[in-house]
Amino acid sequence: MPFVSAMFWAAMHYLCVVAWITSAVMFAIRRDQLTSELLIGSMVLSVLSWIWAFFKRRAARCPLCKGTPLLNSGALPHGRAVRLAPLNHGVSATLSLLFTQEFRCMYCGNLYDLLKPCQSSRPPVESEGDAQ
């Protein structure tokens, strides 16, 4: 499923950014060879993970409208689209997907829950008239 892959790589990118900030603080406190190598390595990993996460988030398409709800395209968002105040709709949907396993598409406004089984995998429901 593309949303699970996008969620995983976005989490990896956020962890690389945390490692980069931590190594920058370590470099400011103690300037030696090891901390400079950690700073450069975490910076390179942050850039590479951002590129990979970008392509994975772009590959995740809304099942209904076929838009890219994890990337902000600049299009007018739906009235029910959710956005955390300092962030855009795409990052807000990514964080919502990471922490609650559900997101609301910014283009069509539908709420998707990754933990809910899809309709095609459910057995058909028999009505009382069919049980005879």
Let me know if residue 130 belongs to a domain. Answer: no
State the virtual CA torsion across 122, 123, 128, 132 in degrees, nearest 10.
180
Position 11 scores a pLDDT of 92
Summarize the confidence of residues 32-37 as an average pLDDT.
90
Let me know if residue 82 belongs to a domain. Answer: yes
Distance, in Å, from the CA atom of 113 to the CA atom of 131, rounded to the nearest integer, reads 32
- State the DSSP code for 1: -
Q: Looking at the structure, do residues 52 and 69 belong to the same domain, yes or no?
A: no
Number of structural domains found in the chain: 2
Which tens digit of pLDDT belongs to each residue from 66-91? 878 777 777 777 777 777 788 887 78
CA-nearest of 11, 13, 94, 27 to 60 is 94
Q: Looking at the structure, do residues 87 and 56 belong to the same domain, yes or no?
A: no
Q: How many degrees, rounded to 5, is the angle at CA 8 between CA 3 and CA 14?
A: 120
Q: Looking at the structure, do residues 49 and 3 belong to the same domain, yes or no?
A: yes
Position 41 scores a pLDDT of 93
pTM score of the predicted model = 0.75
Let me know if residue 86 belongs to a domain. Answer: yes
